[in-house]
Structure 1
């Protein structure tokens, strides 16, 4: 799986989660909501340290990660997190791996 975050999205996370260098942000599967990759689940975020990171993306001194136990959620998909200036929010772009 490829896991990327655009620079505008990183700046959104820094502002919204009051992040600074050395912080960690976890993306995890949570029950409820909707997604295009897992019915009945959605992607949650929290500011916490990794236990067993399966995928990581580092930028601006911040580590964004997905724990090994949550990789099932992506089921053969890559994740690109982008920021929408129009809506002032992030979006998750899932693409099937080739």
Structure 2
């Protein structure tokens, strides 16, 4: 399992979350919402430091990660994050 982030998605996160080199972005499991891979759960995003990162990737000096306790949600899928220009928001795909 890995995180893949397009350049445009990274730019969006940097702008919207006011990110700087050395910052961290966590992808986490939320109860409720909808997801194509886990019914009754959805993906959340937050700017915070890791406690026990299970998966990490670095782009533009920013670390994007998933805590070990949340890896079950991805069910061995990779998380691909792109950007939707029309909606001006990230697109999350599980591959």
TM-score class, shorter-chain normalisation, is over 0.9
Corresponding residue number in structure 2 for 1:35: 35
Aligned CA RMSD, in angstroms, stands at 0.7
Contact 2:17 2:47 in 1 (8 A): yes
TM-score in terms of structure 2 length: 0.97
TM-score in terms of structure 1 length: 0.94
Q: Deviations over 1:39-89 (max 9, x none)?
A: 010000111111111111101110000000000000121110000112111
How far apart in 2 are the matches of 1:2 and 1:48?
19
Corresponding residue number in structure 1 for 2:45: 45
Corresponding residue number in structure 1 for 2:16: 16
**Number of equivalenced pairs:** 95
Contact 2:2 2:56 in 1 (8 A): no
Q: Report how far residue 2 of structure 1 moved.
A: 2.1
**Structure 1, unpaired ranges of 5+:** none
Contact 2:22 2:61 in 1 (8 A): yes
Corresponding residue number in structure 2 for 1:67: 67
Indicate the SS of the match to 2:78: strand
**Structure 2, unpaired ranges of 5+:** none
How far apart in 1 are the matches of 2:49 and 2:83?
24
Any runs of at least 4 consecutive aligned residues in structure 1 with deviations exceeding 3 A, and if so which? none
Corresponding residue number in structure 1 for 2:56: 56
